[in-house]
Amino acid sequence: MITQEEINALRHKVIAPQKMLIDGQWVDASDGGTVDVVSPIDGKKLTTLAAATVEDVDRAVLAARKVFERGDWSRMAPQGRMKIMHKIADLIADNAKEMAVLGARDNGTEIGMAIKAEPGSAAGTFRFYAEAIDKVYGEIAPTADNQLALIHREPVGVVGAIVPWNFPMMIGAWKIAPALAAGNSVVLKPSEAASLNLLRLAEICQEAGLPDGVLNVITGSGSMAGEAMGLHHDIDIIGFTGSGGVGRRLMDYAARSNMKRLYLELGGKSPNIIFADAADLDHAAKVSAAGIFRNSGEVCVAGSRILVERTIHDAFVEKLRAETAKYKVGDPLDLGNNIGAITTAQQLEGDLAFVERAQKEGGTLVTGGKQLNAGQGYYMEPTIFTDIKPNMDLFQNEVFGPVVSVTPFDTEEEAVALANGTDFGLAAGVWTSNLSRAHRMVRNIKSGVVHVNTYGGAGNNVPLAGMKQSGNGADKSLHAIEKYENLKTAWIQL
């Protein structure tokens, strides 16, 4: 836990202009360029980031390749890599309060969520993959008596990780930790809207003894540094979390360069389905509100489409409205608030535009829909719409903000059709006391994770994998390590 006094002691700490980490050295951009870091708490400048150039990306990739080929990390004994990754986890935990406050100043996540979902989650992720290092084996395939077939797992080489601004430490750890566990080197590109905690993580990795060049961090714009990574001929894999538009561009860059492997998590429009036989509608409403409004709705798996059986639709909407009224929006570093700031002014503008379009298309605004504290940061009321039909923009497209639609259904088959009726397939929720129905819904919903009688909270031991235009590959679990390995067969005549 963290106290308000501890938060207040950290909230005004001066943040020096930030450098990049390349080959163990903290450096400025080669042309001296910078990007301003603006806090969503008050709209004021916090510091600057180095704005990486193509030359800087080249330097980072070269450093990663050199140390990989040299074997400082890629051929280190498993016990040595385990020790360093456990040390990274320990140092994250030791500095969790500082990092949570720093992250909230940078991207606006409410501090109660930030301390658990950012340093707390990242420390757990590094521990999980540290323990996996000596527990993921190669294979011996069955053959004739005079033959031996071995299947080796080898690190791929240089991994590019491009991380969004909503949970940079959590999502960064999902990519960095399994890539390191497999023995790879990493070039990390955080979002320019939330780089500070990942730069701090890089310092921790150095302190823990990670060899120079194994983790490099470049900062700046996606249009410069991200594109340079996508087009780079010596990056073997890119793991990306972000928008579908950028994912498509990365696919084009991969085709135009070395056909690097891409693993893309591209967001969702996740259905949260409430049947009339749900055991506790009050609890379902409480969890459903948290499933869309925490972190101002800036959550990839947010349950942004609530589908409710028609016989309980009006009653559930009222319960949801009552739960929403309990949320207090404001300064994310005030423990009395449970919804923080929208990360950028641009994102807030887009969220409000969705509200305007939904009303023009015939949606009914139940509550919210307005900007708060104009001129004093980026804040928005949690917002509920009803009368949202499947052909409407709000039903089909990801807002990535605190806006939820509620749509009625009559039958289980209609619920499945509505749930699957978008281009996305990242997450879903089902509330029912009918065990058979729960299993049918899990089977029939096209989604990488289906929550039953809950929403959110799945652990590191299970994958988060997208279907349809929500992406490919999986973050989390032992399956994530597979993304960062090559399989090599040794076919031996005895």
CATH number at residue 407: 3.40.309.10
Q: What is the pLDDT of residues 240-274, one digit of tens each?
A: 999 999 999 999 999 999 999 999 999 899 999 99
Task: Output the average pLDDT for the chain.
Answer: 97
User: Is the pLDDT at 367 greater than 90, yes or no?
Assistant: yes
Residue 86: what pLDDT? Answer: 98
Residues 258 and 303 in one domain: no
In-domain check, residue 125 = yes
Chain segment 392-439, per-residue pLDDT in tens: 999 999 999 999 999 999 999 999 999 999 999 999 999 999 999 999
pLDDT of residue 375: 85
pLDDT at 20 over 90: yes
Per-residue pLDDT of 312-344, as tens digits, reads 999 999 999 999 999 999 999 999 999 999 999
From 94, 127, 120, 152, select the one nearest 461 (Cα to Cα).
127
Residue 357 domain-assigned?
yes
Q: Residues 401, 444: one domain?
A: yes
The answer to whether residue 465 is domain-embedded is no
DSSP string, 465-480: E-EETTBSSEESTTHH
CA distances from 186 to 120, 176, 178, 312 (A): 22, 7, 11, 50
* Domain match, 345 and 409 both: yes
β-bridge mates for residue 385, sequence order: 365, 405
What is the CA angle 224-245-109, rounded to 5? Answer: 80
Alpha carbon distance, N-terminus to C-terminus of the chain: 61
Question: What contacts 25, CB < 8 A, 6 or more positions away?
Answer: 212
Report the number of distinct structural domains present in the chain: 2
In whole angstroms, give the CA distance from residue 234 to residue 271: 39
Band (459; pLDDT cuts 50, 70, 90): very high
Q: Per residue in 162-196, is it b (16+ CB within 10 Å) or e — as a string?
A: bbbbbbbbbbbbbbbbbbbbbbbbbbbbbbbbbbb
Question: What pLDDT, on a 0 to 100 scale, did the predictor assign at position 1?
Answer: 86
Mean pLDDT of 359-384: 96
Let me know whether 373 and 432 are in one domain: yes
With CA atoms as reference, report the closest residue to 448 among 329, 300, 343, 348.
300
The per-residue pLDDT for range 212-242, each reduced to its tens digit, is: 999 999 999 999 999 999 999 999 999 999 9
Same domain, 183 and 59: yes
Answer yes or no: 139 catalytic. Answer: no
Are 183 and 81 in contact by the 8 Å Cβ rule? The answer is: yes
Are 105 and 254 members of one domain? yes
pLDDT tens figures, 34-66: 999 999 999 999 999 999 999 999 999 999 999
Asked if pLDDT for residue 172 goes beyond 90, the answer is yes
Please report, for the domain that includes residue 199, its CATH number: 3.40.605.10
Is there a contact between 320 and 364 (Cβ–Cβ < 8 Å)?
no
Are residue 144 and residue 280 in the same domain, yes or no?
no
Res 441 pLDDT > 90: yes
pLDDT at 116: 95
Q: Which residue has the tokens 């207090």?
A: 328
Let me know whether 254 and 188 are in one domain. yes
How far apart, in whole angstroms, are the C-alpha atoms of residue 468 and residue 167?
23
Of 118, 265, 398, 485, the active-site residue reads 265
Query: Phi, psi at residue 389, to the nearest 5°?
Result: -95, 160
> Is the same domain home to 201 and 283?
no
Mean pLDDT of 109-121: 97
Q: Do 249 and 393 reside in the same domain of the chain? A: no
Residue 408 phi, psi dihedral angles, 5° rounding: -85, 155
Say how far apart CA 478 and CA 369 lie, in whole Å: 41
pLDDT digits (tens, 9 = 90+) for 276-295: 999 999 999 999 999 999 99
Structural domain of residue 346, as residue ranges? 271-459
Question: Is there a domain that residue 411 lies in?
Answer: yes
Specify if 228 maps to a domain: yes
| pLDDT 10s digits, 175-214 | 999 999 999 999 999 999 999 999 999 999 999 999 999 9
Q: Binning pLDDT at 50, 70 and 90, where does residue 374 land?
A: confident
At position 407, the amino acid (one-letter code) is: T
Strand pairing report for 34-38 and 45-50: antiparallel
The answer for residues whose C-beta is within 8 angstroms of residue 455's C-beta and 6 or more apart is 272, 287, 288, 290, 291, 303, 429
Residues contacting 487, CB < 8 A, separation 6+: 151, 152, 153, 154
Overall pTM surpassing 0.85 (yes/no):
yes
Q: What percent of the chain shows pLDDT beyond 90?
A: 99
